[in-house]
């Protein structure tokens, strides 16, 4: 077998939101970075996400502005600048589904919660929505609860992927899914990787393969950091008759607990029919349930949280997916983007789509500390990777 040599400054493995954001930043800075994908771009967590650019308000429902709330608080403004075309990556062609989310509670909120939401720390992030300004779904006279507006946008993720792929597409390469990566390393770190007939030489290697990071760490015999998987079974529904399409909403339903009972985002299938994508408690607790059981449960839940709404006949689907993150005690949610370096290998999990800019900052800092140099390299001959299909077009089949 003839061997083909490819050279670059940085190899990034895994083209989800983390790898793509970092790849754009590094190439925009004048480095040569290659992004390698063994499936389709975005196919795992990124295209399964709800597209919410959290600012952390959701994590303050227990009445405490935690570390998580503060770390993520700066993210909506960074994404907004990119959406305007003035930020660190150009997202000016992204479809913004909504520039805000809603949060509603059927019951009146406790006075403690009302004053917390009105406090200095939170009042810039959320406001109550006065009756005349409510969207039609919440105009119904039977809705007597509270409605808040969160200044955090919701994006169409396939359009985010298109924007991130376009500028440096010839540096996003498809690698065969079956071939294992072999690492050539000495005591200073990795010099090159071998994938089939290709040998790729680089100064630095970044792992942004989401759940795939674990297998890569195993081939490198790296025992720490460890990864955790937190599974979800998300629920999808749409009107059987597209003429009776569901209204598009981007909203969290609040109960008495510190997590939303349900988070509903709306997406559009290839025929333009609205698909409600439902996360929150139902998805956390729904893992392992049959489609019949979870859809019945979701139907009951929707009638409970929107009792005044006359639902059309619905078609149901579900989607099981793991969140992949650095291991925490008691499988809790990590607070910030995570990067750990072992010589010139950098292991990264954003832990939230919204934290991709924060993750890129942290990886770039780690690369600069290791004296990354920008060199000239020729365009490699491997085929380019392609973007995965939106969930709304495959989940109901």
Ligand X SMILES: Cc1cc2nc3c(=O)[nH]c(=O)nc-3n(C[C@H](O)[C@H](O)[C@H](O)COP(=O)(O)OP(=O)(O)OC[C@H]3O[C@@H](n4cnc5c(N)ncnc54)[C@H](O)[C@@H]3O)c2cc1C
**Chain contacts with ligand X (rule: CB under 6 A):** 13-19, 36-39, 42-46, 48-52, 54, 175, 208-210, 212, 216, 232, 234, 279, 321, 323, 349-354
Nearest distance from C-beta of residue 376 to ligand X, angstroms: 25
- Residues near 343 by beta carbon (within 8 Å), at least 6 away in sequence: 188, 189, 190
Rank residues 106 and 157 by Cβ distance to ligand X and give the closer one.
157
Burial of residue 48 (CB within 10 Å: 0-12, 13-18, 19+) is buried
Cβ at position 115, least distance to ligand X in Å: 28
CB closer to ligand X, 41 vs 129: 41
Closest distance of CB 206 from ligand X, Å: 11
Reduce the DSSP state of residue 60 to 3 states and report it: helix
Q: Which stretches of 151-273 are assigned E, i.e. beta strand?
A: 154-155, 172-174, 182-186, 189-195, 198-201, 204-207, 227-239, 251-254, 262-268
Query: Judging by beta carbons within 10 Å of its beta carbon (0-12, 13-18, 19+), is residue 107 exposed, middle or buried?
Result: exposed
Closest CA to 51 of 102, 97, 104: 97
Closest contact distance (angstroms) between CB of 14 and ligand X is 3
Give 303-330 as a DSSP string: HHHSTT--PPPEEEEEEEEEEEEE--GG
- Residues with Cβ within 8 Å of residue 108, at least 6 apart in sequence: 144, 145, 146
CB of 215 to ligand X, least distance (A): 6
**CA separation, residue 102 to residues 128, 177, 269, 361 (Å):** 9, 40, 23, 30
The minimum distance between CB 35 and ligand X, in angstroms, equals 9
Measured from the CB atom, the residue of 38 and 273 that comes closer to ligand X is 38
State whether the Cα torsion 181-186-189-192 is positive or negative.
negative
Distance CA 38, CA 44 (A): 11
Residue 76 vs 146, nearer CB to ligand X:
76
Cβ distance to ligand X smaller for residue 38 or 253: 38
Q: How far is the CB of 17 from ligand X (least distance, A)?
A: 5
Smallest separation (angstroms) from ligand X to the CB of 114: 26
Comparing CB distances to ligand X, the nearer of 150 and 175 is 175
* Residue in the structure block whose two tokens are 């298109």: 162
Nearer to ligand X, 62 or 219 (CB): 219
Residue 26 or 106 having the CB closest to ligand X:
26
| Cα 364 from Cα 366, distance rounded (Å) | 5
């Amino acid at each position: 077998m003839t061997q083909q040599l490819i050279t670059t400054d940085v190899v990034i493995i895994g083209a989800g939101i983390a790898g793509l954001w970092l790849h754009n930043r590094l190439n925009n800075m004048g480095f040569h970075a290659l992004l390698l994908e063994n499936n389709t771009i975005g196919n795992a967590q990124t295209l399964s996400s709800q597209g919410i650019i959290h600012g952390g308000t959701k994590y303050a429902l227990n009445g405490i502005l935690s570390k998580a709330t503060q770390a993520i608080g700066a993210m909506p403004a960074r994404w907004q600048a990119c959406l305007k075309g003035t930020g660190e990556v150009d997202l000016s062609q992204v479809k913004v589904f909504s520039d805000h989310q809603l949060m509603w509670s059927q019951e009146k909120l406790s006075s403690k919660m009302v004053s917390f939401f009105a406090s200095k720390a939170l009042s810039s992030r959320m406001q109550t929505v006065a009756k005349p300004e409510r969207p039609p779904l919440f105009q119904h006279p039977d809705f007597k609860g509270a409605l808040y507006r969160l200044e955090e946008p919701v994006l169409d993720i396939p359009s985010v992927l298109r924007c991130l792929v376009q500028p440096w597409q010839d540096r996003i390469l498809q690698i065969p899914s079956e071939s294992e990566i072999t690492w050539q390393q000495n005591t200073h770190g990795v010099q090159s990787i071998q994938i089939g007939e290709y040998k790729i030489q680089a100064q630095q290697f970044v792992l942004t393969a989401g759940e795939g990071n674990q297998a890569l760490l195993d081939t490198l015999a790296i025992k720490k950091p460890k990864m955790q998987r937190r599974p979800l079974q998300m629920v999808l529904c749409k009107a059987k008759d597209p003429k009776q399409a569901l209204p598009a909403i981007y909203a969290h339903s609040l109960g008495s607990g510190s997590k939303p009972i349900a988070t509903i985002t709306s997406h559009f299938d290839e025929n333009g029919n609205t698909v409600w994508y439902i996360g929150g408690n139902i998805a956390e607790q729904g893992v392992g349930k049959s489609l019949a059981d979870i859809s019945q449960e979701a139907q009951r839940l929707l009638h409970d949280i929107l009792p005044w709404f006359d639902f059309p006949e619905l078609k149901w689907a579900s989607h099981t997916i793991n969140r992949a993150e650095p291991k925490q005690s008691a499988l809790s949610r990590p607070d910030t983007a995570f990067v750990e370096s072992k010589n010139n290998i950098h292991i990264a999990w954003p832990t939230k789509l919204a934290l991709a800019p924060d993750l890129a900052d942290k990886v770039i800092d780690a690369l600069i500390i290791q004296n990354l140099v920008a060199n000239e390299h020729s365009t490699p001959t491997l085929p380019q990777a392609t973007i995965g299909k939106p969930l709304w077009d495959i989940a109901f089949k």
